[in-house]
Amino acid sequence: MIDLHVHSVFSDGELLPSEIARRMAEKGVEAFAITDHADFTNIRFILENLLKILEFKDAYEIEILVGIEITHVPPRLIGRAVELALKEGAEIILVHGETIVEPVKEGTNYSAVQEEIDILAHPGIIDEKTAEMARDNEVFLELSARKGHCLANGHIAKMAEIYGYELVINTDAHSPSDIISKREAEDVIKGAGIENTIEIFENSRKIVRAKKR
């Protein structure tokens, strides 16, 4: 299990980065990314703090990536937010997609997959145009283990089968109880109607390998 969507105390999560690392390791997680909620007001603040953990990463005995989740930024400004995050040292960038349980601005999904991001998080009822753009731009779409966001997993999985974009499985963890094992992640994937869980896990490994070259 690799979890590339986790929140810490630097946005609305409950845990310090060190505690996230310890709890992830205890669950058998291979690697994880802290991707706190961010807009133009806090991108620099989040990254200058989270990047400090990388100075000591070898002591944690688990692979750690540092990034952000661009959240509720107007669609036409997502590209500028991505540029700022990259400038400030983000290793991985997610965009908070049009989940069916939050009032995310329509057009966020399509704008996001046109930018230099890694993952479109919990994209909800994704449409054909966005699906094709995600495939062509090699943006991964997320199956979510989080309550509420997971309600659209079946649709996201079906559209992946039709349009050929690649999927990852993440928790969107905010608290200790959100952290899951590989076995629990397999259940979420199968619950979305996908039997080949190995491919989903390998997609996350591809992202980590690309970031750590």
Instruction: Give 85-136 pLDDT, tens digit per residue.
Output: 999 999 999 999 999 999 999 999 999 999 999 999 999 999 999 999 999 9
pLDDT for the residue numbered 213: 64
Beta bridge partners of 94: 69, 119
Distance of CA 146 to the CA centre of its chain: 12
Q: What is the mean pLDDT of the chain?
A: 97
pLDDT in tens, 2-52: 999 999 999 999 999 999 999 999 999 999 999 999 999 999 999 999 999
CA distance 70 to 139: 15
Q: Which residue has the higher pLDDT, 213 or 165?
A: 165
Dihedral in degrees, nearest 10, Cα atoms 56, 89, 181, 11: 100
Q: What is the mean pLDDT of residues 188-197?
A: 96
CA distance 138 to 144: 19
Res 61 pLDDT > 90:
no
Residue 205 pLDDT level (bands cut at 50, 70, 90): very high
Structural domain span for residue 111: 2-211
Q: What is the mean pLDDT of residues 147-154?
A: 98
Q: What is the mean pLDDT of residues 167-195?
A: 97
CA distance 144 to 202: 16
Locate 87 and state its tokens: 């400038």
CA distance 21 to 63: 9
Locate 33 and state its tokens: 């990314």
Q: What is the SS3 assignment for 64?
A: strand
> Into how many domains does the chain fold?
1
CA distance 129 to 65: 30
Longest dimension (CA), the chain: 44
The H or E element spanning position 38 is strand 31-38
CA distance 81 to 136: 21
| CATH code of residue 86 | 3.20.20.140
**Percent of the chain's residues with pLDDT above 90:** 97
